[in-house]
Amino acid sequence: MLGQKTLISLLLIFILLPACTTPQERQARQVEEDTYRTALQRMVQSYVYSMSCEALLPLAKDLLWESPYDGAAYTEDRTGLTTDWRDHDETRRSRLTVHSHRAGHDRCAVQFITQERIGHNEHQRRDVNRELELLERVDDEEANRVRLGARREAREAYDLTLQRLEQEEDR
């Protein structure tokens, strides 16, 4: 078990370490974080599974059953799924839908959509977190590959940004 002095030392390192970074490093770190989020979102949204939609949709249905929404039923054409509407308060309700489309022989792409109604207005947004969760369940190794690809892009953005900022400072 760590001693009290060790814990205090570690705490001080984590508190003081960010103060040791330069403004250029902080700016480059922000670019890195933004690039990671954007790259991960792009890679997850464009991911195509190496399996048929008929095989993939039951796995997506299992994921929907674990959500806080009730029910998960196939659409009439059996190319998607939808949950029941969930009331959040008197004016706001939402539900999840999954759309699938064939992307070749035994290949399928999916989109998780959160539909939200507030009064008479309806909004939709893509739920990349659920799409990543499905990828993790279907093929954790592929999910890690996607994350590593996004991390690589983010690191390159960090390096290039830091290099550019340091060169600007030297002028």
Cα three-residue angle 32-34-40, rounded to 5 degrees: 95
One-letter amino acid for residue 72 of the chain: A
Q: Are strands 86-87 and 108-118 parallel, antiparallel or unpaired?
A: unpaired
- pLDDT tens readout for residues 117-167: 999 999 999 999 999 999 999 999 999 999 999 999 999 999 999 888 888
Nearest-angstrom CA–CA distance, 40 and 18: 25
SS3 label, residue 31: helix
H/E segment holding residue 99: strand 92-102
Does pTM surpass 0.75? Answer: yes
- pLDDT tens readout for residues 85-126: 999 998 999 999 999 999 999 999 999 999 999 999 999 999
- Max CA pair span of the chain: 65
Nearest-angstrom CA–CA distance, 59 and 57: 5
The answer for residues whose C-beta is within 8 angstroms of residue 18's C-beta and 6 or more apart is none
